[in-house]
Amino acid sequence: MGLILSSFLAALGQWGDARFRRVVLLGVALTLALLVALYALMLGAIQWLVPETTDLPLLGPVGGLDTLLSIGSILLMLLASVFLMVPVASAFTGLFLETVADAVEDRHYPGLAPARPQGAADGLIGAVNFFGVALVANLVALLLWPFAGPLVPVLFWGLNGYLLGREYFTLVAQRRMPRTEARDLWRANKARIWGAGILMAAPLSIPLVNLVIPVLGVATFTHLFHRLTRR
């Protein structure tokens, strides 16, 4: 646990780096833009499908249902955003993984050889793949939420901790080694990496705070990778 906390605290200490802050702010802006766009689409669909006045049995013409459903959609979107923040925010941040990892390595691990080139296409494919996996997993978790009761946080943190730990650690590690070796390193340290993922997943359930966590996650797993390989 000490290795995880020290890696996270080192990531927090990177806030003074201009490159680090730039990625955080850009990731926050893009994430908010996508969430607003998703809400606008939902609102437009409600207003298109539900007429201003609807004839209901026994009650006759009733107006304002579209407005009522629109208000309800705000609450629904706020709830859904907690679950969808993982795939949405992480997909964007995955595009900037190289910048964050380079900033961490330049400051804390000078003298390293250049990282294996990943390419913009590789970063995009990785981000899209992770977005798809995380989206499906969190939608399933959202469906199970009414039945989970007090175990909802455990379900959310455990699931996303596993996903974040596996994906981020592998992405960071394969900058320095082949993907098969990165997977082997993940398997050898699965419990510790899962714990680091849970540390990232827990704040993702807090609105606004969750916007900056993916970048901190990349930095944390960069530290964790180097500390595991240097032991």
Residue 214 binned pLDDT confidence (cut-offs 50, 70, 90):
confident
Phi, psi at 113, each rounded to 5°: -65, 155
Q: How far apart are CA 163 and CA 7, in angstroms?
A: 19
Instruction: Say if residue 3's pLDDT is above 50.
Output: yes
Confidence of residue 78 (pLDDT cuts 50, 70, 90): low
Across the chain, mean pLDDT equals 75
* Residue that the structure tokens 């409600």 belong to: 46
Tokens of 91: 């997909």
Range in 14-28, 83-97, 102-116, 188-202 with the lowest mean pLDDT: 83-97
What are the residue ranges of helices labelled H in 149-229?
152-173, 179-188, 190-201, 213-229
b/e burial code for range 34-70 (CB count within 10 A of at least 16 → b)? ebeeebeebbeebeeeeeeeeeeeeeeeeeeebeebb
Task: Select from 48, 34, 25, 47 the least CA-distant residue to 77.
Answer: 34
